[in-house]
């Protein structure tokens, strides 16, 4: 790529002219601002002091040397300390000719023997259906996995299902108390939604008990601890860990309902996993590690029997690892799961896609793993993301104020149908094709709206805004792709153009060059986005590419072009844009329709 050639030549020029040692990788090349002439810019101010010359003189001297070294540099100009290079049309022609039919342009393959990056996402509790917050987690985890794979890494996608714990017992106990034996079959309620109903039911009755105890004179903390439902739920958890058959049978039945519901929702969202772990199968390994820590003297037991890790010397506090009754906590099973994954995959990195509310948890996880003697503790990486909020504020599962994933997807499909009919996007399609299109548009709108936001930021989700066919939205990009595919079909089927042999342009115009430069940036954008774990960079790249293409489409004749060579070149450029859109959208988990 020309950027790398520029970096190398500039590095050589600095050494030859001024004796300045600068590695090519350290030299920053930027795209030239649109108001100036040129394609790529070097800011020379960092080298002026050592060169002992004015910025203009340094820029001119470097430009002259680089132009002599690189035939692809047609010219350069200097504006104060900014050295702007213009790349020859022949370079851009050659770039398109080499890549116009490359289906995987910009995508790198992993080495067969590369150690994998293990990406954990989803990690649901089996006491409620997936909701909007889970949607961001799943979409981000899937997309980051795709992004890492596209940049040449071997990736394993895993899910850790939190299938045991006090929260699970709450749903189980409420179903026993208030369910009257109802099932998904007897009610017609989707399996995971039925279990979630009883999680809410537990909270309602629990609050009533707490209020009654407080009315009797107990303080709030004591009332919460001594409420009969909470005492019984804690006892049920202890019975579960002791292997009580009755509790285990109920747990198996209700978790089975939830798994069936999750599978439906995952299929709707278009996400999957290479392996699913269950907390019920990993927490015992975590308990073994806790015992190891006690034997090593890096953990300690309090008088009540609970086990802790003292992290005060690390700037944190003391962390509970086992309760006084011997039951485990989240940290216990995360220790076991981390060890299991590291040993099973020989992982290069362990990436956890978890909300920023758990930042402290993952700081502790790394520290405790290190204290237990695992030299790979630094391979643990927490991809911390912001919460998803609605116009009316945060969601709370136990209070039933969440937006369920299934309901949201159904509502998005309904909106996609309304918007499509309004814009006349589906008139030529069969009813079956229309239904498929509405699903593709709905998921594209949802995924793009969520993924275009930097993962670290809290976001406000607005369904109506997400599905607009104009602006920075998934449907806008999907429509651009469908438009390009229509152009290519007409070129081949109606005008009988032979696109198999690459052709050069007659003379590049400015709009063509902007599109080509956008395409040229794709490999470096994927690399940077993967390094930053940021699908948002891919989303916004795709939007900018589509804007540049639509500007080119409006101003430059393609199928109406009379010069056959220019027409072929422009259609082949369209092919390359379509491939780039499809590949970037694939990274985001978004389908692009052939027709709209």
pLDDT band with cut points at 50, 70 and 90 for residue 34: confident
Non-local (6+) Cβ contacts of 148 within 8 A are: 117, 119, 155, 530
Judged against a pLDDT cut of 60, whether residue 476 lies above it is answered with yes
What are the angstrom distances between the C-alpha of 368 and each of 316, 319, 338, 373, 430?
A: 12, 9, 11, 9, 59
Residues 282 and 160 in one domain: yes
Residues 416 and 487 in one domain: yes
The pLDDT of residue 459: 87
Q: Are 260 and 191 in contact (CB under 8 A)?
A: yes
The pLDDT of residue 254: 97
pTM: 0.89
- What are the two backbone dihedrals, phi and then psi, of residue 275, each rounded to the nearest 5 degrees? -155, 145
Write the pLDDT tens digit of every residue in 261-279.
Answer: 999 999 999 999 999 999 8
DSSP state for residue 395 in the 8-state scheme: -
3-state class of 111 per DSSP? coil
Q: Is residue 305 part of a domain?
A: yes
- What are the two backbone dihedrals, phi and then psi, of residue 93, each rounded to the nearest 5 degrees? -60, -50
- Closest by CA position to 539, among listed 482, 478, 588: 588
What distance in Å separates the CA atoms of residue 307 and residue 324, rounded to the nearest whole number?
7
Burial class (CB in 10 A: 0-12, 13-18, 19+), 267: exposed
What distance in Å separates the CA atoms of residue 590 and residue 555, rounded to the nearest whole number?
29
Residues 176 and 289 in one domain: yes
Taking the CB of residue 249, how many other CB atoms lie within 10 A of it?
10
Residues 186 and 303 in one domain: yes
Question: What is the residue whose two structure tokens read 């003379």?
Answer: 507
Q: Is residue 192 part of a domain?
A: yes
Question: What is the residue whose two structure tokens read 């890549």?
Answer: 99
| DSSP-assigned beta bridge partners for residue 158 | 120, 275
What distance in Å separates the CA atoms of residue 429 and residue 266, rounded to the nearest whole number?
27
- Closest by CA position to 332, among listed 377, 370, 368, 374: 368
**Chain CA centroid to CA 174, Å:** 36
Residues 375 and 428 in one domain: no
pLDDT band with cut points at 50, 70 and 90 for residue 426: low
Q: Is residue 108 part of a domain?
A: no
Q: Are 355 and 457 in contact (CB under 8 A)?
A: no
What distance in Å separates the CA atoms of residue 183 and residue 381, rounded to the nearest whole number?
40
**Chain CA centroid to CA 303, Å:** 45
Residues 37 and 178 in one domain: no
Q: Is residue 100 part of a domain?
A: no
Helix (H) or strand (E) holding 43: strand 40-43
Phi-psi region of 46 (alpha: psi -120 to 50; beta: other; left: phi over 0): alpha
Judged against a pLDDT cut of 90, whether residue 299 lies above it is answered with yes
What distance in Å separates the CA atoms of residue 86 and residue 53, rounded to the nearest whole number?
24
Residue 498 belongs to a domain with what CATH number?
A: 1.10.730.10
- Computed over every residue of the chain, the mean pLDDT equals 92
End position of a domain, from candidates 346, 373, 399 = 399
User: How many domains does the chain fold into?
Assistant: 3
Judged against a pLDDT cut of 50, whether residue 596 lies above it is answered with yes
The pLDDT of residue 316: 95
DSSP state for residue 389 in the 8-state scheme: E
Q: Are 559 and 487 in contact (CB under 8 A)?
A: yes
| DSSP-assigned beta bridge partners for residue 160 | 277
Range of the domain at 223: 121-399
Residues 76 and 139 in one domain: no
Q: Give the DSSP per-residue string, 121-181.
A: ----BTTS--BHHHHHHHHHHHHHHHHHHHBT--EEEEEEEB--SHHHHHHHHHHHHH-TT
DSSP state for residue 492 in the 8-state scheme: I
Judged against a pLDDT cut of 60, whether residue 400 lies above it is answered with no
> By mean pLDDT, which of 475-479, 483-487, 498-502, 521-525 is the weakest?
498-502
DSSP state for residue 398 in the 8-state scheme: G
3-state class of 277 per DSSP? strand
> By mean pLDDT, which of 32-41, 359-368, 412-421 is the weakest?
412-421
Residues 60 and 187 in one domain: no
Non-local (6+) Cβ contacts of 133 within 8 A are: 355, 387, 388, 395, 402
Write the pLDDT tens digit of every residue in 35-45.
Answer: 999 999 999 99
Give the neighbor-by-neighbor strand order of the sheet with 307-310: 300-301, 307-310, 318-322
Q: Is residue 247 part of a domain?
A: yes
Helix (H) or strand (E) holding 548: helix 535-555
Q: Where are the alpha helices (DSSP H) in 270-374?
A: 279-296, 330-345, 359-371
Residues 311 and 198 in one domain: yes
Residues 151 and 251 in one domain: yes
Residues 75 and 203 in one domain: no
Residue 17 belongs to a domain with what CATH number?
A: 3.30.1360.70
The pLDDT of residue 392: 59
Q: Is residue 595 part of a domain?
A: no
What distance in Å separates the CA atoms of residue 98 and residue 96, rounded to the nearest whole number?
5
The pLDDT of residue 402: 65
> By mean pLDDT, which of 92-106, 166-180, 387-401 is the weakest?
387-401
Burial class (CB in 10 A: 0-12, 13-18, 19+), 93: middle
pLDDT band with cut points at 50, 70 and 90 for residue 401: low
Write the pLDDT tens digit of every residue in 61-118.
Answer: 999 999 999 999 999 999 999 999 999 999 999 999 999 999 999 999 988 888 999 9
Tokens (6 digits) for 34: 């649109």
Q: Are 317 and 371 in contact (CB under 8 A)?
A: no
Residues 413 and 394 in one domain: no
Residue 330 belongs to a domain with what CATH number?
A: 3.40.50.620
Q: Is residue 258 part of a domain?
A: yes
3-state class of 276 per DSSP? strand
Q: Are strands 155-161 and 117-120 parallel, antiparallel or unpaired?
A: parallel
Q: Is residue 116 part of a domain?
A: no
- Closest by CA position to 25, among listed 43, 3, 54, 2: 3
């Amino acid at each position: 790529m020309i950027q790398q050639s520029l970096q190398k030549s500039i590095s050589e020029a600095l050494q030859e002219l001024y004796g300045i040692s600068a590695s090519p990788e350290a030299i920053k090349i930027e795209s030239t601002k649109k108001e100036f002439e040129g394609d790529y810019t070097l800011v020379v101010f960092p080298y002026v002091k050592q060169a002992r010359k004015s910025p203009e003189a340094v820029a001119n001297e470097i430009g002259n040397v680089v132009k002599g070294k690189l035939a692809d540099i047609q010219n350069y100009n200097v504006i104060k300390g900014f050295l702007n290079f213009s790349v020859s049309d022949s370079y851009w022609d050659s770039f398109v000719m080499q890549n116009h039919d490359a289906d995987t342009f910009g995508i790198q393959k992993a080495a067969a023997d590369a150690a994998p990056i293990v990406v954990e996402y989803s990690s649901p509790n089996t006491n409620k259906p997936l909701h909007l917050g889970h949607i961001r987690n799943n979409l981000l985890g899937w997309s980051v996995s795709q992004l890492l794979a596209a940049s040449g890494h071997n990736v394993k996608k895993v899910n850790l299902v939190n299938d045991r714990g006090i929260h699970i017992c709450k749903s189980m106990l409420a179903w026993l108390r208030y369910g009257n034996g109802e099932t998904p079959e007897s009610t017609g309620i989707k399996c995971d939604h039925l279990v979630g109903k009883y999680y809410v039911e537990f909270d309602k009755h629990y609050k009533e008990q707490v209020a009654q105890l407080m009315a009797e004179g107990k303080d709030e903390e004591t009332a919460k601890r001594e409420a009969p439902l909470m005492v019984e739920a804690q006892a049920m958890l202890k019975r579960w860990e002791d292997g009580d058959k009755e509790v285990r049978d109920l747990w198996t039945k209700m978790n089975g309902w939830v798994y069936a519901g999750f599978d439906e929702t995952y299929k709707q969202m278009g996400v999957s996993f290479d392996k699913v772990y269950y907390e019920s199968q990993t927490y015992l390994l975590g308990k073994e590690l806790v015992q190891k820590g006690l034997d090593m003297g890096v953990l300690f037991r309090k008088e009540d029997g609970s086990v802790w890790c003292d992290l005060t010397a690390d700037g944190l506090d003391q962390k509970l690892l086992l309760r006084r009754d011997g039951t485990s906590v989240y940290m216990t099973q995360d220790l076991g799961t981390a060890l299991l994954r590291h040993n099973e995959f020989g992982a290069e990195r362990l990436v956890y896609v978890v909300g920023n509310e758990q930042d402290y948890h993952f700081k502790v996880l790394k520290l405790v793993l290190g204290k237990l003697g695992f030299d790979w503790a630094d391979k643990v990486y927490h991809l911390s993301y912001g919460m998803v909020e609605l116009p009316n504020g945060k969601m709370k599962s136990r209070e039933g104020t969440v937006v369920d994933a299934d309901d949201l997807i159904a509502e998005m499909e309904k909106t996609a149908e309304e918007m499509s009919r309004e814009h006349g996007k589906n008139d030529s399609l069969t009813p079956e094709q229309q239904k498929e299109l509405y699903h593709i548009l709905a998921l594209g709108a949802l995924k793009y709206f969520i993924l275009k936001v930097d993962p670290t930021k809290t976001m406000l989700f607005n369904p109506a805004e997400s599905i607009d066919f104009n602006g920075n939205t998934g449907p806008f990009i999907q429509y651009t792709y469908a438009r390009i595919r229509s152009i290519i079909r007409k070129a081949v089927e109606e005008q009988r153009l032979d696109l198999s042999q690459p052709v050069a342009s007659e003379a590049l115009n400015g709009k063509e060059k902007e599109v080509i430069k956008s395409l040229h940036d794709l490999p470096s954008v994927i690399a940077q986005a993967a390094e930053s774990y940021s699908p948002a960079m891919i989303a916004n790249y795709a939007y900018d590419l589509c804007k540049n293409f639509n500007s080119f489409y409006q101003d430059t004749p393609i199928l109406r072009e009379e010069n056959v060579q220019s027409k072929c070149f422009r259609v082949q450029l369209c092919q390359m844009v379509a491939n780039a859109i499809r590949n970037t959208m694939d990274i985001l988990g978004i389908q692009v329709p052939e027709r709209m």
